[in-house]
Amino acid sequence: MMRYIKLVNFEINRFSKIYLSLLLITLVSQFAGVIIVTKSLLKDARDIMSEERLSEAAYITNYGSIEFSHIAHTLLFVGPIALSAVALIFYIFLIWYRDWFGKNTFIYRLLMLPTSRLSIYLSKATAIFLMVLGLIAFQIIILPMENALFHSNVPEALLNEMSTFDIVKISPILSLIIPSTFTQFLLSYGIGLMIMSILFTAIMFERSFRIKGIILGLVYCGIAAVLFLAPVLMEIGNFYFYPNELFGLMLALGIILTGLSVWLGAWLLKNRVTV
């Protein structure tokens, strides 16, 4: 267990500089977005009120109040979230291929460590999952601060106050990464874990069989996708499931595919990937 924990810590430390950069970019960009967009919205509102000689109440009647949703849909706000997601998806591949193609082919030393290769496999998966949760936690922490900054800059007469929960609810991206219920959490992050384990297995196929492995990996990804989406495809074919049944089937298939992918990927790493 201690070796596994050390491997997880090692993998996180290797990505720490880029990871901290993503956190910093998110912090700066979103707070800048709050300030810039708020000033722009207030300027537009004052210009309209001046040109049309409207009172604040009349402006709200004609054009609506100013709320945080105007900021939550801007590039400055959602851009860092998208960038972080792309970076972590890219890191699913980098976390393995850096060891093979990086300086001194570090994978040889890693695979010769006196520990189970399953621990190496799981440590990489755990590191990525913890970094995902860290980014989500960071967003949850700074969102109320951004909302408070927004409230402090908008006159009360023009402001439509929104709680943090309301902001998450009206933003498709935030509602995706910050589930409002435990069921949604299981669905969103369970699917994420499944996809990561499937991609890990595809990488192990490629590392085990090279060119043939690329084909095997793509075929495996395709079969896994069809199996997981089978209940949805059956509904399209007029085979009806109740919502609870559909959720239960997809949850069961997700668990099976994740377990199968972890077992197969670890088996390939142990028996087919050589040093």
**151 vs 70, 120, 171, 233, CA distance in Å?**
13, 47, 18, 46
- How many C-beta atoms surround the C-beta of residue 183 within 10 A? 11
240-253 mean pLDDT? 83
Query: Nearest CA to 191 among 204, 205, 179?
Result: 179
What is the rounded distance in angstroms from the CA atom of residue 200 to the CA atom of residue 193? 10
Q: In which domain, by residue range, is 129 found?
A: 1-175
Range with lowest mean pLDDT among 78-92, 179-193, 199-213 = 179-193
Please tell me the predicted confidence (pLDDT) of residue 52.
86
Residues 171 and 187 in one domain: no
Domain boundary among 144, 160, 175: 175
Residues 236 and 167 in one domain: no
pLDDT band at 272 (very low <50, low <70, confident <90, very high): confident
Domain boundary among 175, 205, 220: 175
Residues 191 and 171 in one domain: no
Domain boundary among 124, 146, 175: 175
203-210 mean pLDDT? 92
Residues 2 and 67 in one domain: yes
Residues 95 and 153 in one domain: yes
pLDDT higher than 80, residue 235: no
What is the rounded distance in angstroms from the CA atom of residue 189 to the CA atom of residue 180? 13
222-239 mean pLDDT? 84
Q: List all residues 6 or more positions away from 170 whose beta carbon is below 8 Å from its beta carbon.
A: 69, 72, 162
pLDDT band at 251 (very low <50, low <70, confident <90, very high): confident
Residues 48 and 139 in one domain: yes
Q: Which residue has the tokens 């970094």?
A: 131
Query: Nearest CA to 255 among 194, 197, 196, 189?
Result: 194
- Tell me the two tokens of residue 22: 């993503």
Residues 219 and 242 in one domain: yes
Residues 191 and 270 in one domain: yes
Residues 27 and 3 in one domain: yes
150-169 mean pLDDT? 90
One-letter identity of residue 90: F
Instruction: Indicate the number of domains in the chain.
Output: 2
Residues 186 and 163 in one domain: no
pLDDT higher than 70, residue 199: yes
Residues 164 and 188 in one domain: no
Residues 124 and 16 in one domain: yes
